[in-house]
C-alpha cells in the first residue's frame, strides 16, 4: 500500500516516511503544497498524510482542489493547530481524519491502517480469502492455520491483492500501489514478486489462490 506524506518540516517528514516504510508501506514525500498537489494527482496512493501549514500552496487549499477535481483518496490532516474551528475546517474541506501535532507515532500508524481499510471497504483488520488469512494490523499471514513468513515487499503485494480479492489487478495497478515514485525497480519486478508469493503461499493439495489472467493481470481468490 502506498502513502503520500506532504509536510514541510524535514525532520518530521522524513521520520514519518521512515516509520511508514519500516511498517511495510511504500511512501512518497513532498515538502510543499505545489509538489504535494502534483504527486497527489497521480494514482496509487491508498492514503495521503497532509500537513495544513505548507509553503507555496497551503494544505486546506490543496485539499479543496483535490476534492474539486474528484480525487477520492483518503486524507489524514496533520496540524499543530488544535482549535475546534481548525478541525471543523479541515474535515469540511474534505479530510477523512485529523491528527494534532505532536502525536504518538503508533497512533498515526493505526489511523493510516484504518484509512486503508476504508479505502477497500474492509471493516475488519483481518482479511479472509478462502483459507488464507491476513491480519493487517499484526501483519501476519496464515494459510490453513500455518503462519507464512513473507518479506516486506511480498507482504505488501499480498495485502494489496487481498484487499482486491476476486478482482483482476493489473500490473500497473500493482506498480502504483506498491512502488514508490522514484523507485529504481525494473518493469518486470511485479511478475518476479508474484512468483515469490506463489512459492510461499501455494501448496500441494491446497487450492490455487493466485491466478494469472493473460493480458489483464492477476487475481487473488477463486478460480475465475
Partner 1 sequence: MIRSLQARLFLGASAVAALALASAALAIYFSVRAALLAEFDGTLLASARGVASIIEQNDGRIVVELDPSMLPEFARAEHPDYFVVWSSAGTVVGQSPSAAGTALLHKPHPAREQQGFFIDLPGGRRGRGRLLRFIARTEQEEQQGLPASRGPTLTLLLARETAPVNRALGRLAWLLAGVSIATTLLSGTLMALVVRRGVRPVTALAAGIAAVRPQDLASRLDLPGAPQELRPIIDRLNDLLERIDAAFSREKSFSADVAHELRTPLAGLEAALEVCAMRPREPEAYQQTITRCLLTIRTMHAMVEKLLLLSRLESQQIPVRSEPVHLAALLQETFAPLAERARERRLDVRVQIPPDLVVRTDPSHLQIILHNLMENAVCYTNEGGSIRAGASARESQVTVQIANTGCSLSAEDVEKAFQRFWRADDARSQANLHAGLGLSLARRVAEVLSGSLTARSIDGEFEVTLVLPWGNPPVLPFPHDFRAAPHADRAAPGLHAPAG
CB of 209 to partner 1, least distance (A): 30
**And the C-alpha cell for 178?**
506498491
Cell 474551528 appears where? 85
Of 55, 51, 48, whose CA–CA distance to 78 is shortest?
51
Q: Quick check: 179 and 172 in contact, CB under 8 A?
A: no
Interface with partner 1: number of residues (CB under 8 A): 27
Task: Rule CB under 8 A: choose which of 41, 43, 88, 103 binds partner 1.
Answer: 103
Provide the minimum distance between the beta carbon of 20 and partner 1 in the complex, in angstroms, as a whole number.
9
Letters for 12-51 (x = contact with partner 1 by CB under 8 A, - = none) are x-xxx-xx--x--------xx-------------------
Are the beta carbons of 8 and 51 closer than 8 angstroms?
Answer: yes
For the bound state, the minimum distance from the C-beta of residue 185 to partner 1, rounded and expressed in Å, comes to 24
Candidates 38, 42, 43, 55: give the one binding partner 1 (CB under 8 A): 55
Of 15 and 167, CB closest to partner 1? 15
Task: Give the one residue of 41, 81, 213, 216 binding partner 1; rule: CB under 8 A.
Answer: 81
Kindly state whether residue 9 participates in binding partner 1, applying the rule CB under 8 A: yes
User: In angstroms, rounded to a whole number, what is the distance separating the alpha carbons of residues 193 and 191?
Assistant: 5
Angle at 79 between CA 77 and CA 83, to 5 degrees: 105
> In the numeric block, which cell numbers belong to residue 105?
507515532
Nearer to partner 1, 22 or 131 (CB): 22
Asked if 222 is part of the footprint of partner 1 (rule: CB under 8 A), the reply reads no
Q: How far is the CB of 201 from partner 1 (least distance, A)?
A: 26
Query: Which of 1, 49, 53, 137 contacts partner 1 by CB under 8 A?
Result: 53
**Which DSSP helix (H) or strand (E) runs through 36?**
helix 33-40
Contact between 56 and partner 1 per CB under 8 A: yes
Burial of 45 (0-12, 13-18, 19+ CB in 10 A): buried
Task: Give CA–CA dist 33/57, Å, rounded.
Answer: 4
* Cα 91 from chain centre: 21
Report how far residue 133's alpha carbon sits from residue 126's, in angstroms, rounded to the nearest whole number: 7
Q: In angstroms, give the least distance from the CB of 47 to partner 1.
A: 17
- Rule CB under 8 A: which residues touch partner 1? 8-12, 14-16, 18-19, 22, 31-32, 53, 55-56, 78, 80-81, 83, 101-106, 108
Amino acid at each position: 500500500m502506498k502513502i503520500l506524506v506532504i509536510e514541510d518540516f524535514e525532520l518530521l517528514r522524513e521520520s514519518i516516511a521512515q516509520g511508514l516504510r519500516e511498517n511495510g508501506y511504500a511512501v512518497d514525500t513532498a515538502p510543499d503544497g505545489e509538489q504535494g498537489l502534483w504527486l497527489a494527482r497521480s494514482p496509487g496512493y491508498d492514503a495521503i498524510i497532509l500537513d495544513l501549514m505548507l509553503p507555496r500552496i497551503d494544505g486546506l487549499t490543496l485539499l479543496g482542489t483535490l476534492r474539486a477535481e474528484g480525487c477520492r483518496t483518503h486524507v489524514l490532516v496533520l496540524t499543530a493547530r488544535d482549535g475546534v474551528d481548525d478541525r471543523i475546517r479541515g474535515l469540511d474541506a474534505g479530510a477523512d481524519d485529523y491528527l494534532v501535532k505532536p502525536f504518538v507515532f503508533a497512533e498515526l500508524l493505526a489511523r493510516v491502517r484504518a484509512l486503508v481499510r476504508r479505502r477497500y471497504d474492509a471493516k475488519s483488520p483481518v482479511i479472509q480469502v478462502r483459507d488464507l488469512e491476513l491480519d493487517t494490523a499484526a501483519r501476519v499471514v496464515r494459510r490453513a492455520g500455518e503462519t507464512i513468513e513473507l518479506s516486506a515487499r511480498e507482504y505488501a503485494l499480498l495485502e494489496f491483492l487481498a484487499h482486491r480479492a476476486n478482482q483482476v489487478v493489473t500490473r500497473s495497478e500493482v506498480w502504483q500501489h506498491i512502488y514508490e515514485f522514484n523507485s529504481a525497480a525494473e518493469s518486470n519486478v511485479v511478475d518476479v514478486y508474484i512468483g515469490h508469493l506463489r512459492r510461499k503461499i501455494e501448496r500441494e493439495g491446497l487450492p490455487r489462490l493466485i491466478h494469472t489472467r493473460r493480458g489483464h493481470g492477476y487475481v487473488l481468490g477463486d478460480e475465475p
